[in-house]
């Protein structure tokens, strides 16, 4: 159990800057996700925390101990690798026992722990088999087992679920969360899958190009993204954007889309902040579930377009609407009846909109 602090952490590979001076504070017992596309520096960051990658500059603290120069073994972390990194010549049992043996635990204690962990992870039947003989899902659980068999200060998960099929992934996702809550061990989890991060994390840090874009709870990140990158990266289907200028129309402040001249009234809550943005071009974003489509024109319809395609997915539907040449995606009831080419009117819940400055990409409302 430990807090982790990263202070101005840098990683350079030759001239390539993988991590550019990031700062993070991870709480004791927290499940912390580092989320980002491949090459964003998330895995380098985790490897520096584990001690298997050298630190170019900056500091890593566990509680009030500077661990920069500590060997991995002294940091007392456990790590689950993306590739599982199971030792091929050893059986599952020996693989599980490995971290304990490395630390010279007594035989009886090792056996006891192996049995416990095998039970927790449902590995009892494969204990005597070699990693090559068991399924990918089993291998993945052995790799988690090797993590939890000790009681380390920190769990590190490096995309542990990216190589199992989607059904097993959803199941294991729950298992990982259950394990973490059972042990209450500080955990850092690296992933490129936003739904995984949203499902697991107490807090998420979104990274791109070696820099932290935003750190916050899944809710904060989902509803109040700090910039366009975060807004676009989180959520499926992603944010919809309209480039608008702020206009004063008959005394009412409104966003007017650059293409098509659709009008969305600026809600009262942000009126003050938009007042000084008259005639500025801003990018207005709204999540797919905050747009209501209708096949007939309603009094409060702000935007109209034509149905591009509709996918009924059983529990929900995804409607794609062509609005003046750009595609807007909307979550609907699964029984929405619209055929490609039908006229469709949209109502945007303006209290849910986020406004970005297309030049700085920052959220105008939260920054």
Partner 1 sequence: MHFKRPGWGKTLGAIGMSLGLILVLAFIVLPLLWMLLMSFKSRTDVMAIPPKIVFTPTLVNYQRLFFGTQKAGYDAVPSDFPRAMVNTIIIAGGATLLSVITGTLAAYALARLHFKGRDFMAFSVLSFRFSPALSIILPVYAIYRRLGLYNTHIGLILIYQTISLPLIIWVVRSYIESIPVDLEQAALVDGYSWWGAFTRILLPLIAPGLAATSVLAFVFCWNNFTFGLLLGAAETHTLTVATSAFVSYEQVLWGVMAAASIVTILPAMVFIFLVQRWLIRGLTFGAVKA
List interacting residues with partner 1 (CB under 8 A): 47, 50-52, 71-73, 77-79, 81-83, 85, 87-89, 98-99, 102-103, 146, 156
Rounded-to-integer distance, Cα 310 and Cα 336, Å: 8
Nearer to partner 1, 51 or 293 (CB): 51
Residue 123 tokens read as 């590995």
SS3 252: strand
Closer CB to partner 1, 103 or 359, in the complex = 103
Query: Which DSSP symbol is given to 116?
Result: H
Residue placing its CB nearer to partner 1 in the complex, 147 or 321: 147
Bridge pairing between strands 65-66 and 57-62: antiparallel
Question: C-alpha distances in angstroms, 224 versus 115, 189, 244, 245?
Answer: 45, 22, 19, 21
- If we measure between CA atoms, which residue out of 330, 292, 288 comes closest to residue 311? 330
CB nearer to partner 1: give 46 or 264.
46
Q: How far is the CB of 87 from partner 1 (least distance, A)?
A: 6
- Specify whether the CB–CB gap between 149 and 117 falls below 8 A: yes
* Shortest separation between residue 158's beta carbon and partner 1, angstroms: 9
**Cβ 168 to partner 1, closest distance in Å?**
21
For partner 1, the closer of residues 50 and 284 by Cβ is: 50
CB-wise, 36 or 99, nearer to partner 1?
A: 99
Residue 10 beta carbon to partner 1: minimum distance, rounded to whole angstroms: 17
Minimum Å gap between C-beta 130 and partner 1 is: 13
∠ CA 283-287-292 to the nearest 5 degrees? 110
For the CB of residue 156, give the shortest distance to partner 1 in the complex, in Å: 8
Give 47 or 173: the residue with its C-beta nearer to partner 1.
Answer: 47
CA separation for the pair 195, 174 (Å, rounded)? 12
Q: How far is the CB of 339 from partner 1 (least distance, A)?
A: 50
Q: Report how far residue 294's alpha carbon sits from residue 41's, in angstroms, rounded to the nearest whole number.
A: 43
Q: Which of 19, 28, 358 is nearest to 190 (CA)?
A: 19
Q: Which is nearer to partner 1, 147 or 318 (CB)?
A: 147
The distance of closest approach from Cβ of residue 49 to partner 1 in the complex, given in angstroms and rounded to an integer, is 11
Report the alpha-carbon distance of residue 67 to residue 301 in Å, rounded.
58
Select 70 or 309, whichever has its Cβ closest to partner 1: 70
Minimum gap (Å) between residue 25 Cβ and partner 1: 23
Q: How far apart are CA 183 and CA 31, in angstroms?
A: 11
What are the CA-CA distances from residue 103 to residues 74, 100, 269 (Å)? 11, 5, 59
Interacting residues of 58 by C-beta distance below 8 A, sequence separation 6+: 6, 7, 8, 9, 10, 21
CB of 161 to partner 1, least distance (A): 16
Residue 82 or 175: the one with the smaller Cβ distance to partner 1 is: 82
Q: Would you call 10 helix, strand, or coil by DSSP?
A: strand
List of E strands, the chain: 4-13, 16-26, 31-35, 57-62, 65-66, 77-80, 154-158, 186-191, 203-208, 211-216, 240-249, 252-257, 263-265, 281-286, 291-294, 303-312, 317-323, 326-332, 343-348, 354-356
């Amino acid at each position: 159990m430990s807090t982790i602090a990263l202070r101005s952490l840098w990683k350079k590979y030759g001239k390539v800057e993988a991590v550019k001076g990031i700062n993070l504070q991870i709480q004791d017992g927290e499940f912390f996700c580092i989320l980002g596309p491949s090459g964003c520096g998330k895995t380098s960051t985790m490897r520096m925390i584990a001690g298997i990658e050298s630190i170019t500059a900056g500091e890593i603290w566990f509680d009030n101990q500077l661990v920069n120069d500590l060997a991995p073994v002294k940091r007392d972390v456990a790590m689950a690798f993306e590739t599982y990194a199971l030792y091929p010549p050893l059986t599952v049992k020996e693989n599980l026992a490995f971290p304990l043996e490395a630390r010279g635990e007594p035989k009886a204690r090792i056996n006891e722990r192996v049995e416990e962990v095998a039970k927790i992870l449902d590995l009892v039947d494969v204990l005597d088999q070699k990693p090559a003989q068991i399924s990918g899902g089993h291998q993945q659980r052995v790799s988690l087992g090797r993590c939890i068999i000790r009681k380390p200060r920190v769990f590190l998960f490096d995309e542990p679920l990216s190589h199992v099929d989607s059904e097993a992934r959803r199941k294991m996702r729950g298992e990982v969360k259950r394990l973490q809550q059972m042990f209450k061990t500080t955990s850092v989890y690296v992933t490129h899958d936003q739904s995984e991060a949203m499902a697991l994390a107490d807090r998420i840090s979104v990274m791109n190009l070696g820099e932290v874009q935003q750190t916050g709870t899944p809710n904060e990140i989902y509803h109040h993204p700090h910039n366009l990158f975060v807004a676009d990266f989180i959520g499926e289907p992603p944010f919809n954007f309209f480039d608008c200028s702020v206009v004063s129309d008959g005394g009412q402040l409104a966003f007017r889309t650059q293409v098509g001249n659709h009008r969305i009234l600026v809600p009262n809550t942000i009126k003050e902040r938009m007042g000084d943005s008259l005639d500025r071009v801003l990018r207005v974003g709204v999540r797919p579930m905050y747009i209501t489509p209708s096949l007939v024109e309603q009094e409060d319809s702000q935007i109209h377009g034509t149905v591009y395609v509709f996918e009924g997915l059983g529990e929900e539907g995804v409607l794609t609407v062509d609005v003046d040449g750009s595609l807007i995606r909307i979550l609907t009831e699964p029984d929405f009846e619209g055929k490609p080419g039908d006229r469709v009117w949209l109502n945007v819940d303006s209290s849910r909109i986020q406004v970005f400055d297309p030049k700085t990409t920052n959220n105008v409302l939260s920054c």
